[in-house]
Structure 1
Amino acid sequence: MKQKNLIKKYDKQVTMYEKNRENPNMAARRRKIINSAYGNILEVGIGVGANFSHYNKEKVHVTGVDFSAEMIKSAKKAASRYQIDTELIHADLDDLDFSPESFDCIVSTLTLCSYPDPVNTLNKFNSWCKNDGKILLLEHGLSHNPFWSLTLKAIDPIYSRIAG
């Protein structure tokens, strides 16, 4: 039941994510990571396709996964807009089982906090990525500043209830 509620929250947030897709602060960070992606790519938590504008469209095929049907619909539109060769899968990553060494690159931007067992998720990435491949992560965490760290810990339960 908890997972279904989380999916509903993400389904309702598509418009917010679409408006934030071109956020200049995040765009610079995404570009820095995504520029080194190549070949057959698995992008987990594809969302609204916020990374599509940063891929080298001549050198990639992106398999995108998201558990939100509404996010997948938005990603499909973004893939067309940015002319990215994609296969989009509406599924929970924990339910998928790709063959070992299926992908040249695996991309995860701001998604690891959404997985119930992130260590297990990272182990799957290691299995699915080719030995000479790349796993590209852009993630967030607690601040080293004690004030901000305490503030983030205090608002986390509220934010989690609202945003998932």
Structure 2
Amino acid sequence: MPVLRAIEAKIEGLFEGIFGRAFRTHVQPIELARKLVKEMDDHRSASVSRVYVPNEYTVYLSPQDRRRFSGYEGSLVGELQEYLAEHAGRERYALLTPPRVLVTTDADLAVGEFGIATRLVAGEAREETPADLPLEEPAMTMVYRTPTPGPPPPRLSRSRLGEGRTP
């Protein structure tokens, strides 16, 4: 399967390169979304019971493309993160944390070109403190004590079973 994926990537790169140079346009948000999902799918890792996927994506844009997104970059990043989370849910992928998309500028890229780097990042371990835990009303503390060993209870004989009763 990796051989087919490599061939597909080469053909895709060839077509995108030819048409990209001939009809150079700015990067479109839908292109970013599609490529982010492709990166998620390409970098999945099967475990014993789950399929893990990267949860951090860094998008590299040309300075000109980055300027085009500057007015709504925060909103776009939120939308891309939501799109990745929905895709992971549909495919039943395991994410260590919600997807995170970072956007940065790469001066070596031309208009219409972009790159994506992925990472699988562990979430911050955070223990729940008692203040974080929800309390049920009314809150009660139960104290349980183990019985201390004492003298064994008296053994009852048949003659003592009837004592203290009146006919």
Q: TM-score, normalised by structure 1?
A: 0.28
Give the structure, 1 or 2, with the largest relative contact order (CA under 8 Å, sep 6 or more): 2
Structure index of larger Rg:
2
